[in-house]
Structure 1
Amino acid sequence: MKPSSPETPVRLRCPCGPVTAFVPWDGHRSGNPVRFHSVPAFDAATDLAIDVPGHGKVVVDIGYGGTFYAFLSAQQLGLDVCSSNTRDLVGAASAVTEAVKEQFKLHHPESEDLAFLYGTILTDGKDAFSEEPTTNICVFADQQVDRSPTGSGVTARIALQYHKGLIQLGQTRTFRSSTTGSLFTGKAVKEAKFGDYSAVVVEVSGEAFYTGTATFTVEEEDPLKYGFFFSYGKRMVGGTNRERYLKRHDGPPGSAPASSSPASGGEAAMWACRNPAVLFCRDGHPDTASEAALQGKKDAANTSL
Protein backbone atom coordinates (compact mmCIF):
# COMPACT_ATOMS: atom_id res chain seq x y z
CA MET A 1 0.00 0.00 0.00
CA LYS A 2 1.36 3.40 -0.98
CA PRO A 3 0.76 5.98 1.77
CA SER A 4 -0.92 9.26 0.92
CA SER A 5 -0.94 12.62 2.69
CA PRO A 6 -2.46 13.95 4.90
CA GLU A 7 -3.81 10.51 5.85
CA THR A 8 -3.92 7.04 4.37
CA PRO A 9 -7.11 4.95 4.33
CA VAL A 10 -6.55 1.32 5.36
CA ARG A 11 -9.43 -1.01 4.56
CA LEU A 12 -9.75 -3.98 6.88
CA ARG A 13 -11.99 -6.99 6.44
CA CYS A 14 -13.11 -8.00 9.91
CA PRO A 15 -15.42 -10.88 10.93
CA CYS A 16 -18.17 -8.25 11.41
CA GLY A 17 -17.61 -6.69 7.97
CA PRO A 18 -15.42 -4.04 6.30
CA VAL A 19 -13.89 -1.34 8.49
CA THR A 20 -11.86 1.59 7.19
CA ALA A 21 -9.08 3.09 9.29
CA PHE A 22 -7.38 6.41 8.57
CA VAL A 23 -3.71 6.90 9.44
CA PRO A 24 -2.01 10.33 9.40
CA TRP A 25 0.96 10.48 7.05
CA ASP A 26 3.37 13.44 6.81
CA GLY A 27 5.40 12.14 3.89
CA HIS A 28 7.94 10.43 6.13
CA ARG A 29 6.11 8.41 8.78
CA SER A 30 2.72 7.70 10.27
CA GLY A 31 1.35 9.64 13.22
CA ASN A 32 -1.49 10.01 15.68
CA PRO A 33 -4.34 10.04 16.28
CA VAL A 34 -5.62 7.27 14.04
CA ARG A 35 -9.34 6.73 13.53
CA PHE A 36 -11.71 4.21 12.02
CA HIS A 37 -15.26 4.14 10.70
CA SER A 38 -17.28 1.26 12.08
CA VAL A 39 -19.73 -1.15 10.58
CA PRO A 40 -23.35 -0.02 11.23
CA ALA A 41 -23.91 0.01 14.99
CA PHE A 42 -27.26 -0.25 16.73
CA ASP A 43 -29.09 -0.77 20.01
CA ALA A 44 -30.24 -4.36 20.44
CA ALA A 45 -32.13 -3.70 23.69
CA THR A 46 -32.52 -0.86 26.18
CA ASP A 47 -33.61 -0.90 29.81
CA LEU A 48 -33.62 -4.69 29.87
CA ALA A 49 -34.23 -6.19 33.32
CA ILE A 50 -31.87 -9.09 34.07
CA ASP A 51 -31.67 -11.21 37.23
CA VAL A 52 -27.99 -11.66 38.12
CA PRO A 53 -27.22 -14.33 40.72
CA GLY A 54 -25.56 -12.76 43.73
CA HIS A 55 -26.50 -9.24 42.64
CA GLY A 56 -30.26 -9.31 42.15
CA LYS A 57 -32.12 -7.54 39.36
CA VAL A 58 -30.22 -5.02 37.25
CA VAL A 59 -31.11 -3.00 34.16
CA VAL A 60 -28.83 -3.25 31.14
CA ASP A 61 -28.61 -1.93 27.61
CA ILE A 62 -27.28 -4.13 24.83
CA GLY A 63 -25.47 -2.49 21.93
CA TYR A 64 -23.79 -3.75 18.78
CA GLY A 65 -20.60 -2.15 17.50
CA GLY A 66 -19.09 -5.05 15.55
CA THR A 67 -19.96 -7.41 18.38
CA PHE A 68 -22.55 -7.32 21.16
CA TYR A 69 -21.96 -5.95 24.66
CA ALA A 70 -24.14 -5.48 27.72
CA PHE A 71 -23.79 -2.05 29.37
CA LEU A 72 -24.66 -0.95 32.88
CA SER A 73 -23.28 1.30 35.56
CA ALA A 74 -21.03 -0.40 38.08
CA GLN A 75 -23.08 1.29 40.80
CA GLN A 76 -25.96 -1.11 40.09
CA LEU A 77 -23.64 -3.88 41.27
CA GLY A 78 -22.49 -1.97 44.35
CA LEU A 79 -19.16 -1.08 42.73
CA ASP A 80 -17.28 1.96 41.48
CA VAL A 81 -15.68 1.58 38.05
CA CYS A 82 -12.90 3.99 39.03
CA SER A 83 -11.99 2.77 42.51
CA SER A 84 -13.26 -0.79 43.06
CA ASN A 85 -10.88 -3.74 42.94
CA THR A 86 -10.44 -4.98 39.38
CA ARG A 87 -11.08 -8.57 40.46
CA ASP A 88 -14.47 -7.53 41.86
CA LEU A 89 -15.35 -5.64 38.68
CA VAL A 90 -14.38 -8.62 36.54
CA GLY A 91 -16.40 -11.05 38.63
CA ALA A 92 -19.50 -8.89 38.59
CA ALA A 93 -19.28 -8.15 34.86
CA SER A 94 -18.81 -11.84 34.07
CA ALA A 95 -21.89 -12.71 36.13
CA VAL A 96 -23.89 -10.16 34.11
CA THR A 97 -22.61 -11.64 30.85
CA GLU A 98 -23.69 -15.15 31.80
CA ALA A 99 -27.08 -13.96 33.04
CA VAL A 100 -27.78 -12.03 29.81
CA LYS A 101 -26.79 -15.04 27.73
CA GLU A 102 -29.34 -17.16 29.60
CA GLN A 103 -32.18 -14.62 29.65
CA PHE A 104 -32.00 -12.75 26.34
CA LYS A 105 -31.70 -14.02 22.78
CA LEU A 106 -29.64 -11.88 20.42
CA HIS A 107 -30.25 -11.45 16.70
CA HIS A 108 -27.80 -10.27 14.06
CA PRO A 109 -29.26 -8.93 10.79
CA GLU A 110 -26.83 -10.79 8.54
CA SER A 111 -25.23 -13.70 10.38
CA GLU A 112 -26.44 -15.66 13.37
CA ASP A 113 -22.82 -16.69 13.89
CA LEU A 114 -22.30 -13.14 15.19
CA ALA A 115 -25.37 -13.22 17.44
CA PHE A 116 -23.55 -13.77 20.72
CA LEU A 117 -22.70 -11.59 23.69
CA TYR A 118 -18.96 -10.89 23.71
CA GLY A 119 -18.85 -9.30 27.14
CA THR A 120 -20.08 -6.69 29.59
CA ILE A 121 -18.91 -3.10 29.89
CA LEU A 122 -19.30 -1.47 33.29
CA THR A 123 -19.53 2.33 33.20
CA ASP A 124 -19.55 5.28 35.54
CA GLY A 125 -23.16 5.95 34.49
CA LYS A 126 -22.33 9.21 32.73
CA ASP A 127 -24.25 8.64 29.51
CA ALA A 128 -25.61 12.16 28.99
CA PHE A 129 -23.46 14.30 26.70
CA SER A 130 -20.56 16.04 28.40
CA GLU A 131 -17.17 17.42 27.44
CA GLU A 132 -15.70 15.44 30.34
CA PRO A 133 -14.51 11.83 29.79
CA THR A 134 -16.72 8.95 30.82
CA THR A 135 -14.96 5.93 32.29
CA ASN A 136 -15.59 2.23 31.66
CA ILE A 137 -14.04 -1.21 31.95
CA CYS A 138 -14.65 -3.89 29.32
CA VAL A 139 -14.66 -7.51 30.46
CA PHE A 140 -14.88 -9.83 27.46
CA ALA A 141 -14.41 -13.41 26.28
CA ASP A 142 -12.96 -15.54 29.09
CA GLN A 143 -12.93 -12.82 31.76
CA GLN A 144 -10.31 -10.81 29.90
CA VAL A 145 -9.96 -7.07 30.53
CA ASP A 146 -9.29 -4.60 27.74
CA ARG A 147 -6.43 -2.17 28.31
CA SER A 148 -8.24 0.45 26.23
CA PRO A 149 -11.79 1.86 26.31
CA THR A 150 -12.51 -0.77 23.58
CA GLY A 151 -13.11 0.29 19.97
CA SER A 152 -16.15 -1.89 19.36
CA GLY A 153 -17.42 -1.04 22.84
CA VAL A 154 -17.16 2.70 22.25
CA THR A 155 -18.93 2.14 18.93
CA ALA A 156 -21.79 0.29 20.60
CA ARG A 157 -22.08 2.81 23.42
CA ILE A 158 -22.24 5.74 20.98
CA ALA A 159 -25.00 3.88 19.10
CA LEU A 160 -26.96 3.45 22.34
CA GLN A 161 -26.53 7.09 23.33
CA TYR A 162 -27.62 8.24 19.88
CA HIS A 163 -30.68 5.98 19.99
CA LYS A 164 -31.64 7.45 23.37
CA GLY A 165 -31.27 11.01 22.08
CA LEU A 166 -28.37 11.76 24.43
CA ILE A 167 -26.01 12.83 21.63
CA GLN A 168 -26.38 14.18 18.12
CA LEU A 169 -24.55 13.42 14.89
CA GLY A 170 -21.05 14.85 15.01
CA GLN A 171 -20.93 15.34 18.78
CA THR A 172 -17.68 13.91 20.15
CA ARG A 173 -17.44 12.09 23.46
CA THR A 174 -14.27 10.99 25.24
CA PHE A 175 -14.00 7.55 26.83
CA ARG A 176 -11.43 6.55 29.44
CA SER A 177 -10.26 3.06 30.38
CA SER A 178 -10.44 2.55 34.14
CA THR A 179 -7.55 0.08 33.95
CA THR A 180 -4.90 2.17 32.15
CA GLY A 181 -6.38 5.64 31.79
CA SER A 182 -6.03 5.49 28.00
CA LEU A 183 -8.48 7.60 26.00
CA PHE A 184 -10.61 7.13 22.87
CA THR A 185 -13.03 9.56 21.31
CA GLY A 186 -16.19 8.54 19.50
CA LYS A 187 -18.93 10.20 17.50
CA ALA A 188 -21.82 9.14 15.27
CA VAL A 189 -20.99 10.36 11.77
CA LYS A 190 -24.03 9.19 9.78
CA GLU A 191 -27.24 7.23 10.06
CA ALA A 192 -27.63 3.85 8.39
CA LYS A 193 -29.98 0.89 8.11
CA PHE A 194 -28.81 -2.56 9.13
CA GLY A 195 -31.53 -5.09 8.46
CA ASP A 196 -34.52 -3.89 10.45
CA TYR A 197 -32.36 -1.82 12.78
CA SER A 198 -31.87 1.94 12.63
CA ALA A 199 -28.12 2.22 12.97
CA VAL A 200 -25.25 4.69 12.87
CA VAL A 201 -21.72 4.59 11.56
CA VAL A 202 -19.37 5.59 14.35
CA GLU A 203 -15.92 7.15 14.14
CA VAL A 204 -13.53 6.08 16.90
CA SER A 205 -10.19 7.81 17.37
CA GLY A 206 -7.16 7.10 19.52
CA GLU A 207 -3.43 6.55 19.57
CA ALA A 208 -1.78 3.58 17.84
CA PHE A 209 1.84 2.50 17.79
CA TYR A 210 3.90 0.22 15.61
CA THR A 211 4.82 -2.98 17.49
CA GLY A 212 6.09 -5.51 14.93
CA THR A 213 5.55 -7.50 11.77
CA ALA A 214 4.58 -11.07 10.93
CA THR A 215 5.23 -13.18 7.83
CA PHE A 216 2.97 -16.10 6.90
CA THR A 217 4.01 -18.72 4.34
CA VAL A 218 2.47 -21.75 2.67
CA GLU A 219 4.50 -24.81 1.70
CA GLU A 220 3.22 -26.96 -1.14
CA GLU A 221 3.83 -30.16 0.86
CA ASP A 222 1.65 -29.00 3.75
CA PRO A 223 -1.53 -31.19 3.68
CA LEU A 224 -3.44 -28.49 5.64
CA LYS A 225 -2.21 -25.51 3.65
CA TYR A 226 -5.78 -24.61 2.66
CA GLY A 227 -7.09 -24.80 6.22
CA PHE A 228 -9.78 -27.07 7.60
CA PHE A 229 -13.27 -27.17 9.10
CA PHE A 230 -14.77 -29.19 11.94
CA SER A 231 -18.26 -30.49 11.16
CA TYR A 232 -19.90 -32.86 13.65
CA GLY A 233 -16.99 -35.25 13.92
CA LYS A 234 -16.14 -35.19 10.21
CA ARG A 235 -12.86 -33.57 9.25
CA MET A 236 -12.45 -31.89 5.88
CA VAL A 237 -8.97 -30.89 4.75
CA GLY A 238 -6.80 -30.02 1.77
CA GLY A 239 -8.44 -29.69 -1.61
CA THR A 240 -11.92 -30.05 -0.18
CA ASN A 241 -11.56 -26.85 1.80
CA ARG A 242 -9.93 -25.06 -1.14
CA GLU A 243 -12.90 -25.95 -3.32
CA ARG A 244 -15.27 -24.74 -0.61
CA TYR A 245 -13.37 -21.45 -0.41
CA LEU A 246 -13.46 -20.94 -4.16
CA LYS A 247 -17.15 -21.79 -4.32
CA ARG A 248 -18.05 -19.43 -1.48
CA HIS A 249 -15.94 -16.47 -2.61
CA ASP A 250 -16.03 -16.82 -6.41
CA GLY A 251 -12.32 -16.25 -6.80
CA PRO A 252 -8.88 -17.71 -6.33
CA PRO A 253 -7.14 -17.87 -2.97
CA GLY A 254 -6.12 -14.40 -1.88
CA SER A 255 -9.07 -12.65 -3.55
CA ALA A 256 -11.46 -10.58 -1.48
CA PRO A 257 -14.19 -12.71 0.12
CA ALA A 258 -17.83 -11.82 -0.42
CA SER A 259 -18.75 -12.54 3.19
CA SER A 260 -16.99 -12.80 6.52
CA SER A 261 -19.41 -15.44 7.82
CA PRO A 262 -18.32 -19.05 8.34
CA ALA A 263 -19.76 -21.76 6.17
CA SER A 264 -23.33 -22.82 6.92
CA GLY A 265 -24.62 -26.27 7.79
CA GLY A 266 -23.49 -26.22 11.38
CA GLU A 267 -19.82 -25.84 10.56
CA ALA A 268 -17.67 -23.91 13.01
CA ALA A 269 -14.89 -22.34 10.98
CA MET A 270 -11.47 -21.97 12.48
CA TRP A 271 -10.50 -18.35 13.07
CA ALA A 272 -7.95 -18.37 10.30
CA CYS A 273 -10.55 -19.50 7.79
CA ARG A 274 -12.27 -16.15 8.36
CA ASN A 275 -9.01 -14.49 7.41
CA PRO A 276 -8.12 -16.03 4.05
CA ALA A 277 -5.13 -13.76 3.60
CA VAL A 278 -3.44 -15.90 6.26
CA LEU A 279 -4.26 -19.34 4.91
CA PHE A 280 -4.54 -18.57 1.23
CA CYS A 281 -1.37 -16.55 0.83
CA ARG A 282 -0.45 -17.68 -2.68
CA ASP A 283 -0.09 -20.65 -4.98
CA GLY A 284 3.57 -21.51 -5.27
CA HIS A 285 6.65 -20.95 -3.17
CA PRO A 286 6.54 -18.05 -0.72
CA ASP A 287 10.26 -17.20 -0.63
CA THR A 288 10.26 -14.33 -3.12
CA ALA A 289 7.18 -12.67 -1.66
CA SER A 290 8.48 -13.05 1.89
CA GLU A 291 11.87 -11.59 1.08
CA ALA A 292 10.30 -8.70 -0.80
CA ALA A 293 7.95 -7.98 2.05
CA LEU A 294 10.79 -8.03 4.56
CA GLN A 295 12.97 -5.81 2.37
CA GLY A 296 10.08 -3.40 1.95
CA LYS A 297 9.77 -3.14 5.71
CA LYS A 298 13.47 -2.35 6.00
CA ASP A 299 13.32 0.37 3.37
CA ALA A 300 9.92 1.89 4.09
CA ALA A 301 8.95 4.33 6.78
CA ASN A 302 6.52 3.32 9.50
CA THR A 303 3.00 3.20 8.03
CA SER A 304 1.59 0.61 10.41
CA LEU A 305 -1.50 0.98 12.52
Structure 2
Amino acid sequence: MWSDTFNKVEQGLAQGPLCWVEVMDSRGSVPRERGAWMAVFADRVAGTIGGGHLEFDAIDRARSLLRGWATPGEQGSQGGQVATEHQHRYPLGPSLGQCCGGVVMLRFVLVPQGRMDMLRERLQPPRDCVALFGAGHVGHALVRLLCNLPYRVMWVDSRDSVFPEEEHELVQCEYSDPVQSAVADLPAGSQVLIMSFSHAEDLEVVAQCLGRQRQHGDLPYVGLIGSATKWATFRRRLRERGFSDAELDHVTCPIGVPGIKGKEPEVIAVAVAAQLLQRRSAAPTRNQGNL
Protein backbone atom coordinates (compact mmCIF):
# COMPACT_ATOMS: atom_id res chain seq x y z
CA MET A 1 0.00 0.00 0.00
CA TRP A 2 1.03 3.60 -0.60
CA SER A 3 0.44 4.37 3.08
CA ASP A 4 2.54 1.34 4.11
CA THR A 5 5.46 2.58 2.01
CA PHE A 6 5.11 6.05 3.51
CA ASN A 7 5.20 4.56 7.02
CA LYS A 8 8.27 2.44 6.21
CA VAL A 9 10.18 5.47 4.97
CA GLU A 10 9.09 7.63 7.90
CA GLN A 11 10.07 4.98 10.45
CA GLY A 12 13.41 4.30 8.78
CA LEU A 13 14.32 7.97 8.47
CA ALA A 14 13.63 8.47 12.18
CA GLN A 15 16.44 5.97 12.86
CA GLY A 16 19.03 7.10 10.32
CA PRO A 17 19.69 8.76 6.95
CA LEU A 18 18.57 7.36 3.62
CA CYS A 19 19.55 7.58 -0.01
CA TRP A 20 16.65 8.50 -2.26
CA VAL A 21 17.08 6.89 -5.70
CA GLU A 22 14.90 8.22 -8.49
CA VAL A 23 14.56 7.73 -12.24
CA MET A 24 15.39 11.19 -13.63
CA ASP A 25 15.12 10.31 -17.30
CA SER A 26 15.04 7.30 -19.59
CA ARG A 27 15.31 6.37 -23.24
CA GLY A 28 14.22 3.22 -25.00
CA SER A 29 12.91 0.15 -23.21
CA VAL A 30 13.34 0.49 -19.43
CA PRO A 31 11.86 -1.22 -16.33
CA ARG A 32 10.25 1.88 -14.77
CA GLU A 33 9.07 5.32 -15.79
CA ARG A 34 10.44 8.75 -14.92
CA GLY A 35 9.70 9.55 -11.29
CA ALA A 36 9.89 5.94 -10.07
CA TRP A 37 11.85 5.74 -6.83
CA MET A 38 13.15 3.73 -3.93
CA ALA A 39 14.42 4.75 -0.50
CA VAL A 40 17.61 2.92 0.45
CA PHE A 41 18.63 2.58 4.09
CA ALA A 42 21.65 0.80 5.52
CA ASP A 43 19.56 -2.30 6.22
CA ARG A 44 16.36 -2.03 4.16
CA VAL A 45 14.74 -0.72 0.98
CA ALA A 46 11.30 0.78 0.39
CA GLY A 47 9.91 1.20 -3.12
CA THR A 48 11.40 -0.03 -6.41
CA ILE A 49 12.90 1.26 -9.63
CA GLY A 50 12.14 -1.96 -11.48
CA GLY A 51 14.16 -4.74 -9.91
CA GLY A 52 16.85 -6.76 -11.66
CA HIS A 53 20.53 -5.90 -11.87
CA LEU A 54 19.77 -2.21 -12.34
CA GLU A 55 18.13 -2.06 -8.93
CA PHE A 56 20.77 -4.26 -7.29
CA ASP A 57 23.56 -2.03 -8.59
CA ALA A 58 21.69 1.13 -7.60
CA ILE A 59 21.19 -0.19 -4.06
CA ASP A 60 24.92 -0.97 -3.78
CA ARG A 61 25.78 2.51 -5.05
CA ALA A 62 23.30 4.13 -2.66
CA ARG A 63 24.71 2.28 0.34
CA SER A 64 28.24 3.16 -0.69
CA LEU A 65 27.19 6.82 -0.75
CA LEU A 66 25.59 6.44 2.67
CA ARG A 67 28.79 4.92 4.08
CA GLY A 68 30.87 7.72 2.59
CA TRP A 69 28.48 10.29 4.01
CA ALA A 70 29.18 8.94 7.49
CA THR A 71 32.89 9.77 7.24
CA PRO A 72 34.25 12.88 9.01
CA GLY A 73 34.60 14.74 5.72
CA GLU A 74 30.90 14.48 5.03
CA GLN A 75 29.61 14.97 8.57
CA GLY A 76 29.09 18.65 7.92
CA SER A 77 26.47 17.90 5.28
CA GLN A 78 24.42 15.66 7.51
CA GLY A 79 24.97 17.72 10.60
CA GLY A 80 23.89 20.83 8.72
CA GLN A 81 20.77 19.06 7.46
CA VAL A 82 21.67 19.57 3.79
CA ALA A 83 20.91 16.91 1.19
CA THR A 84 23.70 15.76 -1.11
CA GLU A 85 22.92 14.74 -4.69
CA HIS A 86 24.69 12.47 -7.20
CA GLN A 87 23.72 11.22 -10.66
CA HIS A 88 24.58 8.10 -12.62
CA ARG A 89 23.77 6.89 -16.14
CA TYR A 90 22.93 3.20 -16.65
CA PRO A 91 22.92 1.63 -20.14
CA LEU A 92 20.73 -1.47 -19.82
CA GLY A 93 22.96 -3.87 -21.70
CA PRO A 94 25.10 -6.97 -21.09
CA SER A 95 27.21 -5.30 -18.41
CA LEU A 96 24.13 -5.19 -16.17
CA GLY A 97 22.85 -8.55 -17.27
CA GLN A 98 19.79 -6.90 -18.82
CA CYS A 99 18.72 -6.83 -22.44
CA CYS A 100 16.16 -4.01 -22.30
CA GLY A 101 18.34 -1.91 -24.58
CA GLY A 102 17.39 1.40 -23.01
CA VAL A 103 19.23 3.94 -20.89
CA VAL A 104 18.25 5.13 -17.40
CA MET A 105 19.54 8.21 -15.62
CA LEU A 106 19.27 7.91 -11.84
CA ARG A 107 19.75 10.52 -9.21
CA PHE A 108 20.86 9.67 -5.70
CA VAL A 109 19.93 12.11 -2.95
CA LEU A 110 21.30 11.64 0.56
CA VAL A 111 18.66 12.73 3.06
CA PRO A 112 19.63 13.42 6.69
CA GLN A 113 18.07 11.53 9.56
CA GLY A 114 14.74 12.98 10.64
CA ARG A 115 14.25 15.17 7.54
CA MET A 116 10.90 13.69 6.52
CA ASP A 117 9.80 17.16 5.43
CA MET A 118 12.10 16.79 2.40
CA LEU A 119 10.18 13.72 1.22
CA ARG A 120 6.60 14.26 2.31
CA GLU A 121 5.38 15.76 -0.97
CA ARG A 122 7.16 13.09 -2.99
CA LEU A 123 5.67 10.27 -0.92
CA GLN A 124 2.16 11.64 -1.19
CA PRO A 125 1.58 11.84 -4.94
CA PRO A 126 -1.45 13.66 -6.35
CA ARG A 127 -4.51 11.46 -5.91
CA ASP A 128 -7.51 11.52 -8.19
CA CYS A 129 -10.88 11.64 -6.46
CA VAL A 130 -13.20 8.72 -7.17
CA ALA A 131 -16.83 9.18 -6.13
CA LEU A 132 -18.21 5.70 -5.66
CA PHE A 133 -21.97 5.28 -5.32
CA GLY A 134 -22.75 1.89 -3.86
CA ALA A 135 -21.30 -0.14 -0.99
CA GLY A 136 -22.21 -3.60 -2.19
CA HIS A 137 -19.85 -6.50 -2.88
CA VAL A 138 -18.22 -4.86 -5.91
CA GLY A 139 -17.99 -1.53 -4.12
CA HIS A 140 -16.15 -3.08 -1.17
CA ALA A 141 -13.77 -4.98 -3.46
CA LEU A 142 -13.08 -1.83 -5.47
CA VAL A 143 -12.37 0.33 -2.44
CA ARG A 144 -9.84 -2.23 -1.20
CA LEU A 145 -8.03 -1.88 -4.54
CA LEU A 146 -8.23 1.89 -4.81
CA CYS A 147 -6.67 2.33 -1.37
CA ASN A 148 -3.51 0.76 -2.83
CA LEU A 149 -3.54 3.05 -5.88
CA PRO A 150 -3.18 6.82 -6.36
CA TYR A 151 -6.81 7.59 -5.53
CA ARG A 152 -8.90 8.93 -2.69
CA VAL A 153 -12.48 7.75 -2.47
CA MET A 154 -15.72 9.48 -1.57
CA TRP A 155 -17.96 6.48 -0.92
CA VAL A 156 -21.71 7.13 -0.94
CA ASP A 157 -24.68 4.92 -0.09
CA SER A 158 -28.25 5.41 1.12
CA ARG A 159 -27.71 2.66 3.70
CA ASP A 160 -25.58 3.78 6.60
CA SER A 161 -25.00 0.26 7.92
CA VAL A 162 -23.14 -1.06 4.88
CA PHE A 163 -19.84 0.77 5.37
CA PRO A 164 -16.85 -0.83 7.14
CA GLU A 165 -16.61 -0.20 10.87
CA GLU A 166 -13.15 1.35 10.45
CA GLU A 167 -12.74 4.00 7.78
CA HIS A 168 -9.49 4.00 5.77
CA GLU A 169 -7.57 7.28 5.79
CA LEU A 170 -8.07 7.62 2.02
CA VAL A 171 -11.81 6.88 2.12
CA GLN A 172 -14.61 9.22 3.14
CA CYS A 173 -17.87 7.34 3.78
CA GLU A 174 -21.02 9.39 3.17
CA TYR A 175 -24.54 8.34 4.11
CA SER A 176 -26.95 10.12 1.76
CA ASP A 177 -30.71 9.60 1.46
CA PRO A 178 -31.68 10.22 -1.24
CA VAL A 179 -28.35 9.04 -2.55
CA GLN A 180 -28.32 11.36 -5.58
CA SER A 181 -28.27 14.45 -3.36
CA ALA A 182 -24.57 13.79 -2.72
CA VAL A 183 -23.70 14.60 -6.34
CA ALA A 184 -23.87 18.34 -5.68
CA ASP A 185 -21.13 18.09 -3.05
CA LEU A 186 -18.61 16.06 -5.07
CA PRO A 187 -15.22 17.72 -5.51
CA ALA A 188 -14.70 19.18 -8.96
CA GLY A 189 -12.86 16.72 -11.18
CA SER A 190 -14.29 13.64 -9.46
CA GLN A 191 -14.48 10.44 -11.46
CA VAL A 192 -17.88 8.95 -10.70
CA LEU A 193 -18.64 5.24 -10.48
CA ILE A 194 -22.28 4.20 -10.00
CA MET A 195 -23.08 0.73 -8.67
CA SER A 196 -25.84 1.04 -6.07
CA PHE A 197 -28.11 -1.82 -4.94
CA SER A 198 -31.01 -0.39 -6.96
CA HIS A 199 -31.50 0.41 -10.66
CA ALA A 200 -33.80 3.22 -9.57
CA GLU A 201 -31.01 4.77 -7.48
CA ASP A 202 -28.52 4.27 -10.30
CA LEU A 203 -30.80 6.16 -12.69
CA GLU A 204 -31.21 9.10 -10.31
CA VAL A 205 -27.47 9.37 -9.69
CA VAL A 206 -26.75 9.31 -13.44
CA ALA A 207 -29.36 12.02 -14.00
CA GLN A 208 -27.85 14.21 -11.28
CA CYS A 209 -24.35 13.73 -12.70
CA LEU A 210 -25.50 14.68 -16.18
CA GLY A 211 -27.28 17.73 -14.79
CA ARG A 212 -24.13 18.83 -13.00
CA GLN A 213 -22.05 18.12 -16.09
CA ARG A 214 -24.41 20.28 -18.15
CA GLN A 215 -24.08 23.14 -15.69
CA HIS A 216 -20.44 22.94 -14.62
CA GLY A 217 -18.67 20.41 -16.88
CA ASP A 218 -16.50 19.27 -13.98
CA LEU A 219 -17.13 15.50 -13.85
CA PRO A 220 -14.68 14.11 -16.42
CA TYR A 221 -15.83 10.50 -16.07
CA VAL A 222 -19.21 9.00 -15.21
CA GLY A 223 -19.26 5.21 -15.21
CA LEU A 224 -22.29 2.98 -14.64
CA ILE A 225 -22.11 -0.71 -13.81
CA GLY A 226 -24.42 -2.88 -15.88
CA SER A 227 -25.09 -4.41 -19.26
CA ALA A 228 -25.69 -2.80 -22.63
CA THR A 229 -29.37 -3.64 -22.19
CA LYS A 230 -29.51 -1.75 -18.90
CA TRP A 231 -27.88 1.26 -20.49
CA ALA A 232 -30.28 1.20 -23.46
CA THR A 233 -33.18 1.38 -21.02
CA PHE A 234 -31.51 4.19 -19.07
CA ARG A 235 -30.79 6.16 -22.25
CA ARG A 236 -34.45 6.07 -23.23
CA ARG A 237 -35.57 7.26 -19.81
CA LEU A 238 -32.92 9.97 -19.67
CA ARG A 239 -33.86 11.22 -23.14
CA GLU A 240 -37.40 11.59 -21.81
CA ARG A 241 -35.95 13.85 -19.11
CA GLY A 242 -34.43 16.11 -21.74
CA PHE A 243 -30.85 14.90 -22.02
CA SER A 244 -29.36 14.88 -25.52
CA ASP A 245 -27.50 11.98 -27.11
CA ALA A 246 -24.28 14.01 -26.84
CA GLU A 247 -24.81 14.38 -23.10
CA LEU A 248 -25.65 10.70 -22.70
CA ASP A 249 -22.46 9.75 -24.55
CA HIS A 250 -20.55 11.12 -21.56
CA VAL A 251 -21.62 8.05 -19.57
CA THR A 252 -19.53 4.87 -19.80
CA CYS A 253 -21.58 1.69 -19.52
CA PRO A 254 -20.59 -1.11 -19.14
CA ILE A 255 -17.52 -0.15 -17.11
CA GLY A 256 -14.14 -1.88 -16.87
CA VAL A 257 -11.51 -2.78 -19.44
CA PRO A 258 -12.86 -5.22 -22.04
CA GLY A 259 -11.74 -8.81 -22.35
CA ILE A 260 -11.72 -9.71 -18.65
CA LYS A 261 -14.13 -12.57 -18.03
CA GLY A 262 -15.79 -13.30 -14.71
CA LYS A 263 -18.51 -11.75 -12.59
CA GLU A 264 -16.91 -12.21 -9.19
CA PRO A 265 -16.77 -8.87 -7.31
CA GLU A 266 -12.96 -8.94 -7.20
CA VAL A 267 -12.70 -9.58 -10.94
CA ILE A 268 -15.07 -6.73 -11.75
CA ALA A 269 -13.17 -4.47 -9.35
CA VAL A 270 -9.85 -5.21 -11.06
CA ALA A 271 -11.34 -4.43 -14.49
CA VAL A 272 -12.80 -1.13 -13.25
CA ALA A 273 -9.61 -0.09 -11.45
CA ALA A 274 -7.63 -0.89 -14.61
CA GLN A 275 -9.90 1.40 -16.62
CA LEU A 276 -9.33 4.22 -14.15
CA LEU A 277 -5.58 3.68 -14.39
CA GLN A 278 -5.79 3.78 -18.19
CA ARG A 279 -7.45 7.17 -17.96
CA ARG A 280 -4.85 8.38 -15.49
CA SER A 281 -2.01 7.21 -17.73
CA ALA A 282 -3.53 9.02 -20.70
CA ALA A 283 -3.72 12.30 -18.78
CA PRO A 284 -0.98 14.94 -19.18
CA THR A 285 2.23 14.18 -17.27
CA ARG A 286 1.99 15.36 -13.70
CA ASN A 287 4.57 17.57 -12.06
CA GLN A 288 6.80 15.31 -9.99
CA GLY A 289 7.98 18.17 -7.79
CA ASN A 290 11.48 18.80 -6.50
CA LEU A 291 13.38 17.15 -3.70
Under TM normalisation by the shorter chain, which class is it?
under 0.3
Larger relative contact order (CA 8 Å, sep ≥ 6): 1
Greater share of helix residues, 1 or 2? 2
TM-score by length of 1: 0.27
Which entry has the higher C-alpha Rg, 1 or 2? 2
Greater share of strand residues, 1 or 2? 1
TM-score by length of 2: 0.28
